[in-house]
């Protein structure tokens, strides 16, 4: 099956710094990638939709200047958490779809961000 | 308002029994509904997709039903095993390919 990787799997950063999370589709071209956030024992909340070569579409309540998304190629999307604060600590998960195949989304393993 | 609810936060069953998880939604008209498995600290793994014109879909020990009149999907795991213990999420297509996830049901299968 299709594989999506995320890097890093865990990151600890100091308050005020920025952190970049990478999402890669390893064996297919992802025309669309999604970024989710998940709090402990809660469901996934969609943050934004990232389309290759165009600006990301953010969900209501998600600050686009805080969570910068870049989808520079068909296999890579990045999420940068700028000026991180402790409340940004969460589990961030990306997913990707290949429109040429199915409606199925392939999820990455997630990135645990802790801001101290 | 739009809602997706999974019947219980946690479900405990004995090995060998059938686990049945429920997903109800309101104010959506999804073209399809999906079920995912999520283990602690991991991303969701796709299990099954069922379309609005399909009543039932099976995959090995898994069975999903989709009733668009009741606005409900049932997810069954037959002959459950301790390895089936995980959180199961239903998700439906909102619009423009976006998936909206339910709150999840944590299944625990005891030997």
pLDDT tens digits for range A56-94: 999 999 999 999 999 888 899 999 999 999 999 999 999
**Residues of A with CB below 8 A from B41's CB?**
91, 110, 112
The β-bridge partners of A10 are: A112
Once rounded to an integer, what is the mean pLDDT over residues A4-24? 97
Cβ–Cβ < 8 Å for A89, A113:
yes
Contact A103 B44 (CB under 8 A): no
> Could you read off the pLDDT of B2-58 as tens digits, one per residue?
789 997 789 999 999 999 999 999 988 888 899 999 999 999 999 999 999 999 999
Task: Look at residue A98 and tell me whether its pLDDT is greater than 90.
Answer: no
Unique residue bearing structure tokens 């399809």: B32
pLDDT band at B96 (very low <50, low <70, confident <90, very high): low
Cβ–Cβ < 8 Å for A99, A32:
yes
> Is the dihedral angle over the CA atoms A39, A44, A47, A49 positive or is it negative?
positive
Contact A104 B102 (CB under 8 A): no
Q: How far apart are CA B78 and CA B41, in angstroms?
A: 26
Q: What is the pLDDT of residue A1?
A: 66
Q: How far apart are CA B72 and CA B66, in angstroms?
A: 6
Q: Compute the nearest-CA separation of B79 from chain A (Å).
A: 25
**Residues of A with CB below 8 A from B34's CB?**
104-105
Contacts of A116 (CB under 8 A, 6+ apart): A12, A13, A14, A15, A86
Task: Look at residue A54 and tell me whether its pLDDT is greater than 90.
Answer: no
């Amino acid at each position: 099956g299709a594989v999506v990787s995320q890097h890093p799997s865990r990151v600890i950063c100091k308050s005020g710094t920025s952190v970049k999370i990478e999402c890669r589709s390893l064996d297919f071209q992802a025309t669309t990638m999604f970024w989710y956030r998940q709090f402990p024992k809660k469901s996934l909340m969609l943050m934004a939709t990232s389309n290759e070569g165009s600006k990301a579409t953010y969900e209501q309540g998600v600050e686009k200047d805080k969570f910068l998304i870049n989808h520079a190629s068909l296999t890579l999307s990045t999420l940068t958490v700028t000026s991180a604060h402790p409340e940004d600590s969460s589990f961030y998960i990306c997913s990707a779809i290949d429109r040429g195949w199915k409606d199925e989304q392939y999820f990455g393993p997630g990135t645990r961000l802790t801001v101290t | 308002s739009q809602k997706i609810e999974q019947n219980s936060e946690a479900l405990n069953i004995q090995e060998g029994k059938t686990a049945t998880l429920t997903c109800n939604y309101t104010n959506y008209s999804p073209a399809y509904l999906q079920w995912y498995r999520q283990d602690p600290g991991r991303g969701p793994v796709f299990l099954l997709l069922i379309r609005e014109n399909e009543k039932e879909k099976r995959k090995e020990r898994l069975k999903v039903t989709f009733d668009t009149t009741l606005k409900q999907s049932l997810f069954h795991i037959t002959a459950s095993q301790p390895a089936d213990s995980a959180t199961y999420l239903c998700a439906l297509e909102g619009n423009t390919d976006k998936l909206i996830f339910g709150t999840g049901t944590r299944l625990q299968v005891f030997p």
